[in-house]
Structure 1
Amino acid sequence: MDRTTVYATGPAVALPGRPDAPAAQDCRRRPAPVVRDLRERAGRGPRELAFAPTDLVVVTGLPGSGKSTLMSRAARGIRIDSQDTRDRWDARMPRLLPYAVYRPLVRLAHYASLRRALRAGGGVVVHDCGTQSWVRSWLARAAERRGGTLHLLLLDVPVETALQGQRERGRGVSRYAFARHRAAVAALLRSVERGDLPDGCGSAVLIDRDAADVLRRIGFTD
């Protein structure tokens, strides 16, 4: 595997459309937040994103954009994905029972798992739907308490691609829910592109589907 480590450091916002990815950039902590834009590189992005051992990484994007697939393939350390929690509950529930009935229990179980992972102290990669800003605030405080930094990994794909992803996995969200996700992710994307990161977030990395496809490791240094 071509191992290229990307570190999100530096004082300025990286401009999109750079022709290729540098061999090494730094994802470790710096006082000023920074954005690294890895989109539109035709698959020439890094194979690895490396963070400090006490950092937290939040993977966000539209439903169906490929967050769970990326995390399942590339995340190292502790991985907390709400989709995993739902799958475990789905396997135990009667087939005809609508998900809406036990959704609150799934969410409670997910947040309980996340709380346990944060207490463990190591690096954690977390799935974020993008609509619950309080979760990122919680993670930012947790990262600060453990001496680490919260990093945002934002998967930017067209709406049509996300909808196709939902169809392929055979599980979608309602039009209302998708509209909420779409508005929240679009607002977050615009903010990050301006260099205005969520409170407590030390860096953000923007990736598209091509960049996600070549990523083989999202991990933490020793």
Structure 2
Amino acid sequence: MTQGAAPTGGALRPGRGAHVHDLRGDGGAAATGRELRYRAGDVVVASGLPGSGKSTMIGRAVPRLDQRGGVVLRVDSQDTRERWERRVPRWLPYALYRPLVRCAHYAGLRRALRSGASVVVHDCGTLPWVRRWLARDARRTGRRLHMVLLDVGAAVALEGQAARGRAVSRYAFGRHRRAVGRLVAAAEGGRPPEGCASVALLDRAAAGALRRIGFE
């Protein structure tokens, strides 16, 4: 267990004290009834393999408002893709308009950052430049960047892809595995990713048991 592990239940404030919080194991007991609470205005990146449950966790655990009544913005590339899918002809392969979806996603992320609101971002972790961008923006605006990292095995992630009806290519999945593996290894070594004030490390059970990712 890495530094920052905490007892069952209650609120955990990553980055205020320990920088790495390992909530894996015990069938999610470490995270049962727990809330992750961040400063209002901070940015949280949810990372992990495709199919690991990031979108499900964000949709379930991230409220629309912080404890002060301020807006919490959720930026998920999956939401952007679904909006485009509703607009384009069904026969049009996703590969043809994928660059437009990505541009729309990053444009939406830029607007969210410029708003000054608390932001939760869905990110698979394979593009370090995105995290560098978020870290630079956080430093410039006096905010902090945090990561919630899902450590989920490849087989479980592939099952998640099958359940949602969308699978990434073997090549892309291999890139994701290597990138996420580096992030997990760094967290296990007590080091948050570069530019991040903290990392909370969860397995699938802990992510399911997590009650809220909130801002105060």
Q: Answer whether TM exceeds 0.5 for this pair.
A: yes
Q: What residue in structure 2 maps to residue 21 of structure 1?
A: 8
The answer for the alignment partner of 2:99 in structure 1 is 104
- Bigger share in helix: 2
Q: CA deviation at 1:25?
A: 3.5
What CA distance in whole angstroms lies between the structure 1 residues aligned with 2:107 and 2:35?
29
Alignment of 1:73-92 (within 5 A): 73-76=60-63, 77-92=72-87
- Aligned counterparts of 2:79 and 2:115: Cα–Cα separation in 1: 19
Instruction: Classify the secondary structure of the residue corresponding to 1:152.
Output: strand
Q: CA RMSD in A?
A: 1.7
In structure 1, C-alpha distance between the alignment counterparts of 2:20 and 2:34, rounded to whole Å = 18
TM-score (norm 2): 0.89
What SS does structure 1 have at the residue aligned with 2:159? helix
> 1:24 deviation in Å?
4.1
CA contact (8 A) 2:10 2:35 kept: no
Identity of aligned residues (%): 57
Tell me how far apart the structure 1 counterparts of residues 3 and 95 of structure 2 sit (CA, whole Å): 41
Match of 2:26 among 37, 41, 44: 41
CA distance in 1, matches of 2:15, 2:193: 17
Give the 3 Å change call, closer, same or farther, for CA 24–94 of structure 1 in structure 2.
closer
**How far apart, in 2, do the equivalents of 1:194 and 1:151 lie?**
17
User: Is the Cα–Cα contact under 8 Å of residues 45 and 123 in structure 2 kept in the other structure?
Assistant: yes
**What is the deviation of 1:144?**
1.7
AA of the residue aligned to 1:128: D
SS class of match (2:131)? helix
Q: Secondary structure at the match of 2:197?
A: strand
In 1, Cα distance between equivalents of 2:11 and 2:95: 45
Cα displacement (A) at 1:218? 0.9
2:35–2:211: 8 Å Cα contact kept in structure 1? yes
- Indicate conservation of the 8 Å contact 1:21/1:38, yes or no: no
Post-superposition shift, 1:216? 2.6
The alignment of Structure 1 onto Structure 2 pairs a total of residues equal to 205
Q: 2: distance between equivalents of 1:52 and 1:145?
A: 16
Per-residue CA distance 1:20-48 (angstroms, 9 max, x = gap)? 43634432556xx7100000032321431
Structure 1: distance between partners of 2:26 and 2:39: 25
SS of structure 1 residue aligned to 2:194: coil
Q: Where do 5+ consecutive residues of structure 1 fail to align?
A: 1-12
TM-score by length of 1: 0.87
1:162 corresponding residue in structure 2: 157
Bigger relative contact order (CA 8 A; separation at least 6): 2
Give, in angstroms, the shift of residue 214 of structure 1: 1.4
8 Å contact kept, 1:156–1:208: yes
| Counterpart position of 1:175 | 170
Looking at structure 1, the residues matched to 81 and 134 of structure 2 have their Cα atoms a distance apart, in angstroms, of: 21
User: Which sections of structure 2, spanning at least 5 residues, go unmatched?
Assistant: 64-71
Q: How does 1:48-59 map to 2 (within 5 A)?
A: 48-59=35-46
Shift of 1:217: 1.5
